[in-house]
Structure 1
Amino acid sequence: MRVVSLVPSLTEAVAVSAPGVLVGVTDWCTHPAGLDAARIGGTKNPSTERILALAPDLVIANEEENRAPDLDALRAAGAEVLVTEIRTLPQALSELERVLAACGADPRPGWLEEAERAWAALPVPDRRGTAVVPVWRRPWMVLGRDTFAGDLLARLGVDHVHATHPERYPRVPLEELRAVAPDLVVLPDEPYRFTAEDGPDAFPGLPCALVSGRHLTWYGPSLAEAPGVLGAALAAALR
């Protein structure tokens, strides 16, 4: 089996569950460390020539992370492309199972069962809070409707205020974000790398939680530890 992955989180999931099948990955595929596979460009600008030269049996992609014209070009050239759609935790778990089965992972990986148990064991939050969740700066963009990250936060007791916005990642002026006066501002370190020096400065007087983007936005082995990691970061910011 020869697989090319166009999604960093799927790359990690396949690499640890079906070692040796990945022959190509994106430049943004950072996990697991030391991955031995050809680099085929970015998630938004992969080289179809490089991908096809690897003669993959399967290319795995995501409808949000990857562009339809690139996937159409691969299909037109004869490549089999499996496209995932992941906007909730249950979707993530079922799509991961589908991808891993297609890549020949057998038996079902233990980390997937650990992730299911970890999220199922979450207690009902004592109270719910509201949050603004920027994912980019210059211009400011935030989580909107139907996002995987938003679903994870909701399960942890944090409802982001733009969850009903018509767009999934709307651009919202900073003044409007401040005016909402949320209980919390959640600042992940990807896709924009928010840090203690770059992010909280824009929201004076509001608690800010700097969180791991890998635990908030990736669907893969990190899901098993995400409830604990994210929960601790959110609780610390709200103290």
Structure 2
Amino acid sequence: MSTPRVVSLVPSLTEAVAVSAPGALIAATDWCTHPPGLDVPRIGGTKNPRTDRIVELAPDLVIANEEENRAPDLDALRAAGLEVLVTEVRTLPQAFRELDRVLTACGAATRPRWLDEAEAAWAAVPPPERRRTAVVPIWRRPWMVLGRDTFAGDLLARLGVGHLYAGHPERYPRVPLDELRAARPDLVVLPDEPYRFTADDGPEAFPGLPCALVDGRCLTWYGPSLVEAPAVLGRALRAAHR
């Protein structure tokens, strides 16, 4: 059976396929930064892919995500006769199921070792001794935070951090900075993507509150980074309270 020709519109899935089904990827987005040195044609961003170029490449499969990619773009690809596999990932167990589905569809010969290692790493996370509250900005100008039903929120909950907007009607609500400060969380979690929060850009907005600068790939990507994510995120969260 020949290896399917795959275009990926999701950075985390690009990494997963590249390391698990070598030779399958024929194109990826401009934001697909992993694995380092990935040498495939680029077809635009996750929100503005060059659908005409994708059609020209004639892939056997396009892999996408219901949150990261826009429905009109996916509809255009389907209308051109392409098969589009759309994932939905809002919890860690869902991520593992969807990764299995994607890798099988992309021709992975066997279940990759990293996927077993990732499941084992998260299964080994001890139940939190206590829960801390947090706000988790993902953007500023305007300020936006994690809301309901997010993959990142599920990972944080498993590490003992409950974010204060988990019950919000929106998944990524816009919340004024004054309201975020007034919520008085135990800490503020600042990832380096999609907005690149740094030590000099983010913590100054929350004077008096501990801030954890975390690796956005470990917090929001579902792929090989899940192996190291519990340890990497755990260290960053603990460091915020030293």
1:63 maps to 66
Structure 1 runs of 4+ with >2 Å offset: none
Paired letter, 2:214:
V
RMSD of aligned Cα (Å):
0.4
> How far is the alpha carbon of 1:31 from its aligned partner?
0.2
2:227 maps to 224
1:119 maps to 122
> How far is the alpha carbon of 1:34 from its aligned partner?
1.1
**In 1, Cα distance between the equivalents of 2:127 and 2:100?**
26
Residue 39 of structure 1: SS of its match in structure 2?
coil
- Summarize the alignment of residues 1-239 of structure 1 with structure 2, pairs less than 5 Å apart: 1-239=4-242
Paired letter, 2:154:
D
Paired letter, 1:198:
D
TM-score, with structure 2 as normaliser: 0.98
Residue 64 of structure 2: SS of its match in structure 1?
strand
Could you give the per-residue CA deviations for residues 47-72 of structure 1, whole angstroms, max 9, x where no partner exists?
01110111100000000000000000
**In 1, Cα distance between the equivalents of 2:12 and 2:205?**
30
Paired letter, 1:237:
A
Residue 230 of structure 2: SS of its match in structure 1?
helix
> How far is the alpha carbon of 1:183 from its aligned partner?
0.3
Residue 240 of structure 2: SS of its match in structure 1?
helix
Residue 48 of structure 2: SS of its match in structure 1?
coil
Paired letter, 1:181:
R
TM-score, with structure 1 as normaliser: 0.99
**In 1, Cα distance between the equivalents of 2:183 and 2:30?**
37
Paired letter, 2:89:
I
Could you give the per-residue CA deviations for residues 116-155 of structure 1, whole angstroms, max 9, x where no partner exists?
0000011111111000000000000000000000000000
Residue 38 of structure 1: SS of its match in structure 2?
coil
Identity over the aligned pairs, expressed in percent? 82
**Where does the alignment leave 5 or more consecutive residues of structure 2 unmatched?**
none
**Where does the alignment leave 5 or more consecutive residues of structure 1 unmatched?**
none
